[in-house]
Amino acid sequence: MIRTVLGQVTWGVDAAVPILVVILLASVGTGLLFVVSVVAYRRRRRPQYGLIAVAIGALWLRSVVGAGTVLGVVPMPAHHFISHSLDLLTAGTVLYAVYMYAPGSVAAPDDR
């Protein structure tokens, strides 16, 4: 249900339930991927696997922040600051991993 109060649109609980379900499903899926990435890092013990685990962990935290926002625990300004900071961390980490550990990259041969 959508309500208008003094020209502002507010969402009722009815609209929050589907959003919360999607966020919770995303959280569970991303959480499982995070666990798999940590296991892969622990098995391989290579920096690129650690960077991927960090990036997926940031995506998982983003879902947790989204759920907290829908539940009213995280205020919207904090949600935007945290979520977009995690976006930056994710993109930067993945780009760094690709740059440093791609074939022919500048990474030291001992790190591979």
pLDDT of residue 2: 44
Q: What is the pTM of this model?
A: 0.76
Question: What whole-number percentage of the chain has pLDDT above 90?
Answer: 54
Q: What distance in Å separates the CA atoms of residue 40 and residue 25, rounded to the nearest whole number?
A: 23
Q: What distance in Å separates the CA atoms of residue 38 and residue 51, rounded to the nearest whole number?
A: 10
What's the pLDDT tens digit per position in 36-90?
A: 999 999 999 999 999 999 999 999 999 999 888 888 888 989 999 999 999 999 9
